[in-house]
Structure 1
Amino acid sequence: MLINLSIFLRPVIYLFFKGTKFTDPIDGKSYRKFLPYGYGKQRENALSPGTLSLERHRQMWLYLQNETDFFTENYKVLHIAPEQEFLRKFKKMKNLNYTSADLYSPIVDVKADILDLPFEDESYDIVFCNHVLEHIGDDQKAMSELYRVMKKGGWGIFQVPMKNSLEKTYEDFSITDPKERQKHFGQYDHVRWYGMDYFDRLKKAGFDVDINFYSKKFSNEDRRRYGLTENEILPVVFKK
């Protein structure tokens, strides 16, 4: 209901926030401001009024647009727990054979457990799995499943909440109370804060990893205009 309501209200939202200070690369529209967003302390100019995208979504879109042939070549794509705006746009793209999957979401193509994906080995050219693994107790098993269903020569983007200052991931499975989880891990349904060893976990599952600070490719002016965060990593993975 909330998804349908947000789509219905978009034209009104756009007229209210229309301006020139910020640009959302996903819909190409400009706004006088982005909205604050965040659990606890909110980040200013984080949420785009039109697409409801955050900094990480806009960074990913710009990477796909500028650094890949995602929008032009024929690919078979698996998208775990798809972001609303990406789902809407990717399903319309004629060059993609696109499958969305999630355990609970009512808007996906396939109901699937990331720990036991119902897909054949090496089925997909591209796999997206963003802000999912921090919810999964056995994240190593989930990474192995993502590796299994990716074709050789394939690639993907696996974003997670990270603290770049942490060398080692912080997790404590004795913490189960939602309030305590929010206090320790930043959100009530997270089970860890990933540190820089996140990439070692991906490598253990078999992936090659590009630790990509993609937002740093942009000038300060463009980062501000697109509402990007300078130090957010875009984890791009490859299966050789």
Structure 2
Amino acid sequence: MKKLFKLILNIIPRPLLIRVSYLVRPILVFFLKGNTYTDPIDGNRFRTFLPYGYGKQRNNALSPSTLSLERHRLLWLYLKNETDFFTSNHKVLHFAPEQAFYKRFRNMKNLDYVTTDLNSPLADVKADICNLPFKENEFDIIFCNHVLEHIPDDTKAMQELYRVLKPGGFGVFQIPQDLNREKTFEDNSITDKKERAKIFGQYDHVRIYGRDYFDKLRSVGFKVDEVDYTNTLSQKDITTYCLAKGEIIPVVYKN
């Protein structure tokens, strides 16, 4: 199964994968029902989650029902337990909206919910993150998760995110990050897709972020909280929800 999923991820374009997944998901839910693991987003339980990864694959990473990964389930728990995201009125900008969240956020009556991306079929507004068509100080909350590692000029993207976030608002800008690496690594001379997937974790990533990612956000003007939310959870919850222990949620604020 691992080889099959790896082949699918590396051959089928992401927009097409999104469309196909809507057809495949009910079948996966039916055959993988069980009592070992729980998706906290919808409460469904399974005997196993699915493997996932463009390069090295991770076991029990992808939920069959919501198609959430570890980072999505961790963020859901954080938003639910530590913020007023689900209860107060907010204008939200969501980049490259994840399927695990899209319909749920869209249906929340307390949200004025706007999605954007250059390619996603789920985007309301087709836009370049480095040149956004939004006013200054327009959004209370911004989600930009696993996007910046695709952007050559991530400094310009961060500046645009800062510009459109309201003072007093917050954002979550998750990225794949090697916390053992002090400095972010880039090498545009590596052009082979297989080699890029091996080194960067995915063929279309342009960098591996290190611990300096947080300081780069601060240099743009954000206040940054490096939230290790798994540190507040029991080992049983981490295992049951299939989370990545020690994963950091970068929560940013604009004063």
TM-score range, shorter chain: over 0.9
Partner of 1:210: 225
Corresponding residue to 1:112 among 118, 124, 127:
127
Asked if residue 54 in structure 1 is aligned to residue 69 in structure 2, the reply is: yes
Gaps of 5+ in 2: 1-15
Letter aligned with residue 173 of structure 1: N
Question: Which secondary structure state, in structure 1, belongs to the residue aligned with residue 195 of structure 2?
Answer: helix
Gaps of 5+ in 1: none
Partner of 1:44: 59
Is the Cα contact below 8 Å between 2:137 and 2:165 reproduced in 1? yes
Question: Which secondary structure state, in structure 2, belongs to the residue aligned with residue 79 of structure 1?
Answer: strand
| Separation in structure 1 between the aligned mates of residue 24 and residue 53 of structure 2, nearest angstrom | 22
Q: Which moved more, 1:223-232 or 1:33-42?
A: 33-42
Partner of 2:208: 193
Q: 1:190 to 1:9 in 2, by over 3 A?
A: closer
Asked if residue 90 in structure 1 is aligned to residue 105 in structure 2, the reply is: yes
Q: Which moved more, 1:224-233 or 1:34-43?
A: 34-43
Letter aligned with residue 140 of structure 2: D
| Separation in structure 2 between the aligned mates of residue 223 and residue 41 of structure 1, nearest angstrom | 21
Q: Which moved more, 1:1-10 or 1:170-179?
A: 1-10
Identity of aligned residues (%): 62
| Separation in structure 2 between the aligned mates of residue 8 and residue 38 of structure 1, nearest angstrom | 21
- After superposition, the C-alpha distances for 1:184-208 in whole angstroms (9 at most, x for unaligned) are 2111111100000000110011100
Partner of 1:134: 149
Question: Which secondary structure state, in structure 1, belongs to the residue aligned with residue 140 of structure 2?
Answer: strand
Is the Cα contact below 8 Å between 2:72 and 2:100 reproduced in 1? no
**TM-score normalized by structure 2?**
0.91
The alignment covers a number of residue pairs equal to 240
Asked if residue 160 in structure 1 is aligned to residue 175 in structure 2, the reply is: yes
**TM-score normalized by structure 1?**
0.96
Letter aligned with residue 23 of structure 1: T
Query: Shift of the alpha carbon at 1:2?
Result: 4.1
- After superposition, the C-alpha distances for 1:40-73 in whole angstroms (9 at most, x for unaligned) are 3221111111111110010000001110110111
Is the Cα contact below 8 Å between 2:106 and 2:113 reproduced in 1? yes
| Separation in structure 1 between the aligned mates of residue 159 and residue 192 of structure 2, nearest angstrom | 28
Partner of 2:237: 222
Question: Which secondary structure state, in structure 1, belongs to the residue aligned with residue 36 of structure 2?
Answer: strand
Partner of 1:23: 38
Is the Cα contact below 8 Å between 2:117 and 2:128 reproduced in 1? yes
Greater strand proportion = 1
RMSD of the alignment, in Å? 1.3
